[in-house]
Structure 1
Amino acid sequence: MPEVRITIGGRQFEVACQDGEEGYLHSAAKMLDDEAQVLSDQVGRMPEARMLLMAGLLLADKAASVEDRINEVRSQLAEREAELAGLRNAGPEAERVEVPVVPQEVKDTLAELAARAEALAAQVEENADGDAG
């Protein structure tokens, strides 16, 4: 288990951590040191235990604020998702359109009638041309 030397509020500490977690420990120590520096600038020198307690409380307060904001954003996201689902479901119902199927024998009959009409039209034209000439 590695021993890591960290500095918080101008004081050095030896801390043990798991292998591979040294970077996380240094990062956390820097956050705590930043808060301790703010306290030191505002209040001046104070006992180690009090400085660590106050710096920890300041970090906990920031963490609580971040958690509150995360919960607020999650709530807003859930509301938006519900709105979106409502909009998706609120669209107009699809209109049912029925296309009639014309039976083949009716098509055949219509084709036969069309052919007869064309034949009659051709005959009328021939007669009209013969009378004119």
Structure 2
Amino acid sequence: MGQVTVRVGGYTHPVSCEDGQEAHLIALAAEVDRRVASIRAMGGQFGESRLLLLASLLLADEIHDLRVDLSRAKAAPPGAAPEIDPLLAERLGRLAEQIEGIAATLDQP
């Protein structure tokens, strides 16, 4: 049985895991710690248990959204094009314009 000590929200926690899963567990704790840090950045004084509760709720909300997206993708007819995120499409368009501008300057003597 593996054992690691993770740091979340400024507190250390010893945690057991299956052998070989130590790095994965450390990465998961780092993700929780990022959520805790984002909650702290919003202001307010929270105890450790409240911070962990709010971080858990943020992660649960993200999991819920991913499950909804997955179920929609599974329900789509085979070969159907996925729904395109308009913000992502806009960003990709701007990046393409920048790349074309760079390429144009490379073609000049």
Structure of greater relative contact order (alpha carbons < 8 Å, 6+ residues apart): 2
Report SS of the residue matched to 2:78.
helix
Report SS of the residue matched to 2:14.
strand
Q: Which residue of the partner structure matches residue 52 of structure 1? A: 52
Runs (4+) off by over 4 Å: none
What RMSD over aligned residues (CA atoms) do the two structures have, in Å? 1.7
Compared CA separation, residues 4 and 45, structure 1 to 2 (3 A)? farther
- Superposition deviation, residue 14 in structure 1: 1.0
Structure 2 residue runs without a partner (length 5+): 81-109
Q: Is the contact between residue 6 and residue 26 of structure 2 (CA under 8 Å) also seen in structure 1?
A: yes
- CA separation in 2, counterparts of 1:45 and 1:56? 17
Q: How many residues align?
A: 80
> Residues 72-111 of structure 1: matches in 2 within 5 Å?
72-76=72-76, 79-80=77-78
Question: Looking at CA atoms only, which structure, 1 or 2, has the larger radius of gyration?
Answer: 1
Report SS of the residue matched to 1:80.
coil
Query: What TM-score, normalized to structure 2?
Result: 0.66
Query: What TM-score, normalized to structure 1?
Result: 0.55
Cα deviation digits, residues 6-52 of structure 1 (max 9, x gap): 11112211111111111221121111111101101113441111111
One-letter code aligned to 2:73: V
- Superposition deviation, residue 81 in structure 1: 5.5
- CA separation in 2, counterparts of 1:28 and 1:35? 11
